[in-house]
């Protein structure tokens, strides 16, 4: 029996989708990282019960932090992007969290208000010096919760010839999964997914396509990405990801968000090119409810599979949509920008 709803949500389901493709399906993926991070900070005396935890979020991180604060006796304030919808705002309210929703800035659309939100976090900390900034974009304390997930994957599927596919976002979750899979003796090939327009892997010069995939792209430099964890990077636009969502639902029954749709596309591409290869596991961070209007229109196609395939590139300068991929070879990367580099602690 679980001791709390947050504990239940922190444990994903590993589902066999056939053809040696598997999904690690989360209800709210960030609960896995947030719950372990907050418990670790409490255990080490870095934070205390009753204190206010604050951070920036485009959706599920804010929900997760509010849920964990409710469970563990802390307060919570979220600087939310415009992508945070009414369903998440309602849950924040009833969980006792407060939030400030930040409108999009400039031409960068829904995702690229991260610098604005982080700047507002700093202003909040000046006015509330007892608050603690969780730093989901920078602190690898958010890795901890994925150790048990990685160990579970190795236990179920073994350690030979495994490929992990998932959105990069911050360093959690794919950087974290890479760390713990490899510590468990599984030298997994790790494929990271990025939307166009993200700074983390050099696609910031590619125009956004109207709805950047919330949660897996970066508008600022993220401090907890381990670039050397990734063997390949795939850049995927909204249309390819949305088609993946529809195909995933109609062929497997899995109702999941845009990052999972992108993951399904990549997983199927890997399997098509390596039909006798080892297990391919992709991450599904959240269900598809918040994407219904844009991704699952009632008058749209039931099984939309326009046969998208990636263009393989060897240089970032050759990047192009709607989908391209590059052999990353676990190398480092220095994000090129003139935005502020925020300290780990204000």
Domain positions in the chain are 5-29+143-327, 31-140
Residue 82 has what pLDDT? 79
CA gap 116, 220 in Å, rounded: 10
Nearest CA-CA partner of 329 in 235, 180, 189, 197: 189
pLDDT, mean of residues 307-320: 95
5-29+143-327 and 31-140 in the same fold: yes
Q: What tokens were used for 245?
A: 């969502």
Instruction: Specify whether domain 31-140 bears CATH 3.40.50.1100.
Output: yes
Could you identify the residue written with the tokens 């263009």? Answer: 311
Instruction: List pLDDT tens digits, range 72-117.
Output: 999 999 998 877 888 889 999 999 999 998 876 654 444 457 778 8
5-29+143-327 is a CATH 3.40.50.1100 domain? yes
DSSP 140: G
Q: How far apart are CA 191 and CA 233, in angstroms?
A: 6
Q: What is the full DSSP assignment across 200-256? A: TTT-TTSPP-SS--TTT--SS--TT--GGG-SEEEEE-HHHHHHHHHHHHHHH----
CB 264 within 8 A of CB 234: no
pLDDT, averaged across the chain:
90
- Is the CB of residue 159 less than 8 Å from the CB of residue 184? yes
Task: Return the bridge partners of 232, or none.
Answer: 191, 327
Helices 60-72/29-43 angle, 10° precision: 40
CA distance linking residue 295 with residue 55, whole number of Å: 28
Length of the chain: 346
**Structural tokens at position 95:** 């969980």
The rounded percent of the chain whose pLDDT value lies above 90 is: 71
Tokens representing residue 89 in the block? 């705002």
Q: Give residue 310's pLDDT band: very low, low, confident or very high (50, 70, 90).
A: very high
pLDDT tens sequence across 152-186: 999 999 999 999 999 998 878 899 999 999 999 99
In sequence order, the 6+-apart residues with CB closer than 8 A to the CB of 154 are 162, 181, 184, 185, 186
Percent of the chain residues topping a pLDDT of 70: 91
What whole-number distance in Å separates Cα of residue 134 and Cα of residue 118?
11
* pLDDT value of position 220: 82
- Distance, in Å, from the CA atom of 75 to the CA atom of 195, rounded to the nearest integer, reads 33
Does the pLDDT value for residue 35 go beyond 80?
yes
3-state secondary structure of 16: strand
Among residues 12, 259, 47, 45, which one has the least CA distance to residue 135? Answer: 47
Reduced to 3 states (helix: H, G, I; strand: E, B; else coil), residue 153 is: helix
Res. 344: pLDDT tops 70: no
The neighbouring-strand residues paired with 79 are 56, 100
pLDDT at 206: 85
User: What mean pLDDT is predicted for residues 135-145?
Assistant: 94
Whether residue 211 has pLDDT greater than 60: no
Distances (CA, A) of 304 to 49, 209, 261, 295, 323: 49, 19, 12, 11, 16
| pLDDT of residue 326 exceeding 70 | yes
Predicted local distance difference test score (pLDDT) of residue 112: 58
Across the beta sheet with 75-80, what order do the strands follow?
98-101, 75-80, 52-57, 132-133
* Among candidate residues 259, 207, 271, 254, the one with its CA nearest the CA of residue 234: 259
């Amino acid at each position: 029996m679980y001791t709390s709803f947050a504990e239940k949500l922190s444990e994903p389901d590993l589902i066999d989708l056939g053809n040696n493709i598997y999904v690690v399906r989360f209800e709210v993926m960030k609960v896995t990282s947030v719950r372990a991070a907050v418990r670790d900070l409490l255990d080490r005396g870095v934070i205390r019960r009753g204190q206010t935890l604050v951070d920036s979020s485009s959706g599920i991180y804010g929900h997760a932090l509010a849920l964990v604060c409710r469970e563990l006796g802390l307060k919570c304030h979220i600087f939310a992007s415009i992508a945070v919808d009414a369903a998440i705002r309602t849950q924040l309210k009833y969980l006792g969290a407060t939030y400030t929703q930040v409108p999009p800035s400039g031409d960068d659309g829904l995702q690229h208000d991260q610098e604005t939100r982080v700047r507002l976090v700093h202003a909040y900390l000046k006015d509330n010096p007892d608050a603690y900034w969780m730093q989901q974009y920078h602190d690898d304390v958010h890795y901890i919760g994925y150790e048990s997930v990685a160990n579970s994957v190795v236990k179920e599927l073994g350690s030979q010839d495994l490929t992990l596919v998932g959105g990069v976002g911050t360093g959690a979750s794919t950087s974290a999964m890479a760390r713990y899979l490899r510590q468990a003796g599984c030298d997994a090939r790790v494929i990271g997914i990025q939307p166009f327009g993200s700074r983390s892997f050099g696609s910031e010069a590619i125009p956004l396509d109207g709805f950047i995939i919330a949660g897996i792209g970066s508008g600022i430099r993220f401090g907890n990405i381990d670039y050397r964890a990734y063997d390949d990077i795939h850049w995927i636009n909204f249309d390819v990801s949305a088609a993946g969502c529809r195909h995933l639902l109609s062929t497997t029954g899995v109702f999941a968000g845009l990052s999972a749709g992108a993951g399904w596309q990549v997983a199927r591409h890997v399997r098509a090119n390596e039909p006798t290869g080892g297990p391919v596991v992709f991450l599904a961070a959240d269900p598809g409810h918040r994407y219904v209007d844009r991704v699952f229109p009632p008058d749209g196609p039931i099984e939309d599979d326009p046969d998208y395939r990636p263009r393989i590139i060897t240089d970032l300068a050759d990047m192009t949509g709607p989908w391209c991929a590059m052999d990353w070879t676990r190398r480092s990367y220095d994000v090129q920008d003139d935005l502020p580099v925020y300290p780990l602690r204000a």
